[in-house]
Amino acid sequence: MSAFFVEHGEPAFRATQVMKWIYHEGSTDFSQMTNLSKKLRLFLQENCSLEAPEIVAEELAADGTYKWALKMHCGNRVETVFIPEEKRGTLCISSQVGCALACTFCSTAQQGFNRNLTVAEIIGQIYVAQQRLGTTKKITNVVLMGMGEPLLNFNNVVTAINLMLDDLGYGLSKRRVTLSTSGVVPAMYRLGGVCDVSLAVSLHAANDELRNELVPINQKYPLKELLAVCKENVKIAPRRKITFEYVMLDGINDTDLDARMLIKLLKDIPCKINLIPFNPFPNSIYKCSSKTRILKFRDILHNSGLIVTIRRTRGEDIAAACGQLVGKVQDKSRRHLKFAND
């Protein structure tokens, strides 16, 4: 943006002024940017545009969770979710239209894959949500846990994260931005060198045989490779722990033996484990583990010294919970056969 203004005979600091109007004041109307000259404002109105994704549907859950269906310029839709809590507000955003990874327990993955979201479409979800929420609710945390695998849209996701962290953007702490990945190992190594944010890994199984079934990308990047890159990642910020996400599937991955295998698998990695009650969706072959079984599983892990939490299900009554997000996706993928290039 600085280069743009210099190219048109304006000082580079005009970029700073415009950034503040967009991200701090929430304005997309160039005519309101009163610290710009009238001539420059007119030029911007005639030659530039600031367009946010369009809200085409909004749902409010009984627990206060919002879900928005956002229409992108191609006609496809993605979903974005805001989860209010007493001391924070978490926005779950999407990085792709659909998902190509075909995880069997996830409704999003069953919709197929269309394309990557642009930087504008990723950061635009925060803009739209904050505008819709107004001043009464504040977005304090952002998680890239919506539709898509963020690391298969690497460049756009990293650029958008930098805008989230930038003081001229949303000024979020790197501890308050979390990227969730199913385990795209080469991109995880690359991420560690260019972007320091919290990392969540969708694990869901403690052995390759089961994980190959639940998270098919494991066939390409098995647990040995995944855990190796996780150990490298914690070296970047030794005081920060990796979160391992583990969906609880009745009779599939929730036995005492599974818990003991998980303890052995993660014993050398500073981490915390987030147990996620499975959220059902139409035609799913899975059921959620019982509350008793989830608590027993948690206790086995906790007694070994691991930090364990059970994710509170939010927005389930509007299909806004983990693994339930679906958009309007024109599937262009052969998702069971194709993972993006390294």
- Kindly list the catalytic residues: 79, 322
Q: Compute the distance between CA of residue 159 and CA of residue 257 in angstroms, rounded to an integer.
A: 42
- Long-range contacts of the stretch 4-11 (C-beta < 8 A, 24+): 8/43, 10/40
**Phi, psi dihedrals of residue 62, rounded to the nearest 5°:** -60, -30
Residue in the structure block whose two tokens are 């944010």: 197
What does each C-alpha distance from 189 to 92, 183, 194, 263, 273 come to in angstroms? 24, 11, 9, 24, 21
Distance separating alpha carbons of residues 68 and 260, to the nearest angstrom = 39
**What is the C-alpha to C-alpha distance for residues 153 and 46, in angstroms, rounded to an integer?**
32
- CB–CB of 192/238 below 8 Å? no
Query: By C-alpha distance, which of 169, 190, 165, 167 is closest to 178?
Result: 165
Closest CA to 96 of 50, 49, 160, 140: 160
Q: How far is CA 148 from CA 5, 19, 64, in A?
A: 34, 27, 24
Residue 270 pairs with which residues in a beta bridge? none
- CB neighbours of residue 314 within 10 Å: 21
Work out the burial of residue 38: count CB atoms within 10 Å of its CB; fewer than 13 is exposed, 13-18 middle, 19 or more buried: exposed
As a dihedral over the C-alpha atoms of residue 160, residue 162, residue 168, residue 173, rounded to 10 degrees, the angle is: 110
Token pair listed for 152? 């298969």
State the Cα angle at 341 between 235 and 339, rounded to 5°: 95
